[in-house]
Amino acid sequence: MKSKTSRANAMKKAIAASLAILILLAFTGCGTSSGSAATESQRQEDASATSGSLAEAKEKLNDLYQQENQIFADHQNAWNKAFGFMSKNMDDDTLNENYADFLANIIESNKDSFSEEEYATLSKDVETIRGIEEEIAKLEKEIAASDSSGSSSSNSADATGVFQGFKGKDLDGNDVDESLFAQNKVTVVNFWFSGCKPCVEELSKLNELNDEIKKMGGEVVGINTDTLDDNQDGIKEAKEILKAQGASYKNLTVDSDSTVGKYAGNIMAFPTTVLVDKDGNIIGEPFLGGINDQSNYEQLMKQIQSALDQN
């Protein structure tokens, strides 16, 4: 009898305790998850807003093309006559010029073949088309811009301008600022830490890479996350490792609450290597994993090459 009541008591206590824990968990769970849900939905809204305007722009573009076609249809006879002269005049230069100019040239050079009335309508149409072409060019630019910003923001979030206004020191305590990036066509920034075996093992390869791309106007720079905030113990260890691995390229320390420091703090996998342009913007996607693997090295080289070619 006694054991039964004590059992029931123990059960009640345990149930009460577990309920309390569950309620607590439910609250904390709600707090964090609803918070994140809010930001998530906001992000989606942003995305849909940009994609909405994008869709709008594309529709407008389509509409403009239709308007042009309508013009050709309205004065079909005259335009067909004009189109008849085209095939003979095609070369690269004419393809690259403004479409309205291109049409105007054709009409102008074959002026004699058109009646006066035809010539007048064609000239008028060309001017209308010129207006439309201008709008098309503007829209295409917009779409291209929002496309590229969309893809970079969706993948690496707020990562592009990380090295703008850069301030840090090299491991000997000399100040380094954004001019480091400005003087290079492309800067390869490698994030690593002293206890990371793959990071340490690729240091000599990075040194080779530095020697190689120096000739082409590039540079390799390392940031060891153990050296952030001028941590002297970390700097000493990093220097020893760099020396042991034969790496003589520049390594930098930054403040952990600077944009670069925060970027480094958010890296989930080391080593991570990024390419930075003259203005301190990260180009393309961050590169994960050691480059002492041949295929990784080639892939990184390809990225560097394309960055160099763009400059």
**Per CB under 8 A, which region of 167-175, 223-231, 249-257, 268-276 contacts other proteins?**
268-276
- Grouping H, G, I as helix, E, B as strand and the rest as coil, residue 19 is helix
Binding positions for other proteins, 96-115, rule CB under 8 A: none
- Is the CB of 35 or the CB of 217 nearer to other proteins? 35
200 makes contact with other proteins (CB under 8 A):
yes
Give yes or no for a contact between 61 and 140, defined as CB atoms under 8 angstroms apart.
yes
- CA atoms of 290 and 285, how far apart (whole Å): 15
**Per CB under 8 A, which region of 20-28, 80-88, 123-131, 205-213 contacts other proteins?**
20-28
Tokens at 135, concatenated: 């709008």
25 makes contact with other proteins (CB under 8 A):
yes
311 makes contact with other proteins (CB under 8 A):
no
Please report which residue ranges of 75-115 form alpha helices under DSSP H.
76-83, 92-96, 99-109
268 makes contact with other proteins (CB under 8 A):
yes
269 makes contact with other proteins (CB under 8 A):
yes
Number of H helices, E strands in the chain: 11, 7
Q: 144, exposed or middle or buried, with CB in 10 Å at 0-12, 13-18, 19+?
A: exposed
Beta-strand ranges (E) seen in 172-302 are 175-177, 186-192, 218-224, 250-253, 272-276, 282-288
Bridge partners, 218 (sequence order): 186
x/- contact string, 131-170, with other proteins (CB under 8 A)? ------------------------xx--------------
- CA atoms of 225 and 266, how far apart (whole Å): 11
Binding positions for other proteins, 211-250, rule CB under 8 A: 241, 244-245
- For residue 2, the minimal CB distance to other proteins (Å) is 9
- When binding is defined by CB under 8 A, the residue of 30, 47, 216, 288 that contacts other proteins is 288
- Is the CB of 35 or the CB of 52 nearer to other proteins? 35
x/- contact string, 35-54, with other proteins (CB under 8 A)? xx---x--------------
Q: How far is CA 229 from CA 167, 168, 253, 265, 303, in A?
A: 12, 9, 7, 12, 30
- When binding is defined by CB under 8 A, the residue of 57, 286, 301, 308 that contacts other proteins is 286
Bridge partners, 189 (sequence order): 221, 274
Name the site residues for other proteins (rule: CB under 8 A): 3, 6-7, 10-11, 14, 18, 21, 25, 28-29, 32-33, 35-36, 40, 155-156, 195, 197, 200-201, 241, 244-245, 265-266, 268-269, 272, 285-286, 288-289
